[in-house]
Amino acid sequence: MIYNRTYVKELIRKRMDASISFTESDQLEAAEKIFSEEEFDAMIAEVIEEMSNDRSNELSFDWRPDFEQIRAAGDRLARKKKRQLWWGCAAAAVLFVLVSSVILISKHRNYRAEIGLECASMSSGTEIPLSESAGTIMLADSSIIRLDTNATGVLLDLNGISLAKTAEGVLEFDKSSSGREINANETDIVIRTAARQQCVIEFPYGMRVRLNAQSTLRYPLTQGDSTHLFIEGEALIDIPGQLFGGVMVIQTSNGKILSDYGRFELASYAQFTRATVSYGEVLVSDRRSSKRQVLQCLDEVAVIKSYLPKGEEIRRDSLFYLTNGDFEQASQWANAVREYKDVPLTEFVWQMSRWHGFTVKNMNCIPNKLISTTVCYRTNREKVYAMIRDAGVLMYEKKGMISFCPEDHKESRTAMK
């Protein structure tokens, strides 16, 4: 993607706005080596001009930098100084617009300011603190262990497996020489999260899984050389490369994922599996036909969809491979501050419904619109409704269910009230 001028310009824009991530910063540095200095300088100039036009129009200011003067000055300097001049000019332009924004703040609803109060100590890209890890542990005998944020120490000792919550907040699987024995062939350790909960679990070799809200992880007590799991919902998986020997095998409703090194986001629902890679090597295969796809590069995606052919009784699997995914967007749910830019409203509503625990009657009724907003994980449901309203979309609530369908307007109350 760093060969794409549009994508590089977006990275330049993020650098000017101080919203660029570490991964994007590395990509921008790589892009500087691919394009000539003249081409890269031209892209910087275009971004500055676009930003000044966009923001000055938004704030009703008739202002823009004198680009001809900037270019003339840059040509008189050495290449290194010229690059510094571009960035300096960009900073000045952004600073001017920011100051103007403060002057007119009373005319615009500023969700970012509200986010700052709720997540004041957390920057963009920072994951929800481990100390807030919570959930529920369940066994086949119906015994339940609540994982509140204050719980620490050994919580379960079973069949040579110790399950403890560290002072950091991580739920850690380890070997144990004590504990009671049960029939391992019939038992899984089940970890579930509710709305507004995430749980970080660490397995042997330092492998970690962050479960999103309303997700389930099953850990069979019978394990081989690899770590076998079943995941339903959403999870962010980290397998450190420096700890060789650990292989994670994840089963879903219609697929299997294997990896011994990497970082990827997994979405696992009924008859649907999606893996989006940040780095490493991830092998994805469907359950019925055993078709395989290896993912190794940033934003590579494998999707497995199961369907029932007309007139048949047995489902079939289709495995799709994509190179234009978006790992950062797919894993937004793990962040304390979640930034959405031109994201389909359907995706935004889906993520918010899982986090806040509300039900959408029919996702197909959601308008085909894009939304750009910033949400703190502590933001309440009412503010999320207001963000959707500000995108120009009506929502209705009846008996605890949210609907975007026009026919549900009667005898229902507007959800944003």
**Residues 334-365 pLDDT 10s:** 999 999 989 999 999 999 999 999 999 999 99
Of 305, 332, 359, which residue constitutes the final position of a domain? Answer: 332
Do 162 and 28 lie in one domain? The reply is no
Question: Mean pLDDT in the chain?
Answer: 80
pLDDT above 60: residue 285: yes
Please report the pLDDT score of residue 57 as a whole number. 47
**Quick one: which of 229, 184, 231 has its CA closest to 204?**
229
In a domain, residue 100? The reply is no
Q: Tell me what percent of the chain is helix, strand and coil, each rounded to the nearest 5.
A: 35, 30, 35
Do 309 and 162 lie in one domain? The reply is yes
In a domain, residue 111? The reply is no
User: In this predicted model, which residue has the larger pLDDT, 319 or 177?
Assistant: 319
Do 41 and 151 lie in one domain? The reply is no
Of the chain, the percentage scoring pLDDT greater than 70 comes to: 77
In a domain, residue 62? The reply is no
**Quick one: which of 173, 406, 109 has its CA closest to 414?**
406
The residue assigned the tokens 């490493």 is 280
Of 332, 356, 386, which residue constitutes the final position of a domain? Answer: 332
In a domain, residue 91? The reply is no
In a domain, residue 143? The reply is yes
In a domain, residue 339? The reply is no
Do 132 and 16 lie in one domain? The reply is no
Q: Report in angstroms the alpha-carbon separations of 90 from 355, 357, 365.
A: 37, 42, 42
Do 168 and 290 lie in one domain? The reply is yes
Which helix (H) or strand (E) segment holds residue 382: the answer is helix 381-390
**Quick one: which of 32, 23, 12 has its CA closest to 94?**
12
Which stretch of 101-105, 295-299, 341-345 has the lowest confidence by average pLDDT?
101-105
In a domain, residue 81? The reply is no
**Quick one: which of 211, 305, 215 has its CA closest to 255?**
305
In sequence order, what are the residues at sequence separation of 6 or more whose Cβ sits closer than 8 angstroms to the Cβ of residue 120?
Answer: none
Contact 169, 132 (CB under 8 A): yes
Do 192 and 269 lie in one domain? The reply is yes
In sequence order, what are the residues at sequence separation of 6 or more whose Cβ sits closer than 8 angstroms to the Cβ of residue 290?
Answer: none
Contact 349, 363 (CB under 8 A): yes
Do 201 and 326 lie in one domain? The reply is yes
Domain that holds residue 24: 5-57
β-pair type (248-251, 227-239): parallel
Do 146 and 232 lie in one domain? The reply is yes
Do 134 and 222 lie in one domain? The reply is yes
In a domain, residue 293? The reply is yes
Please report the pLDDT score of residue 134 as a whole number. 93
320: domain CATH number? 2.60.120.1440
Do 51 and 130 lie in one domain? The reply is no
Query: CA torsion, points 379, 383, 384, 386, in degrees to nearest 10?
Result: -170
The sign one gets for the Cα dihedral 279, 199, 119, 355 is positive
- Residue 155: pLDDT band by 50, 70, 90 thresholds? confident
Q: Specify the number of domains making up the chain.
A: 2
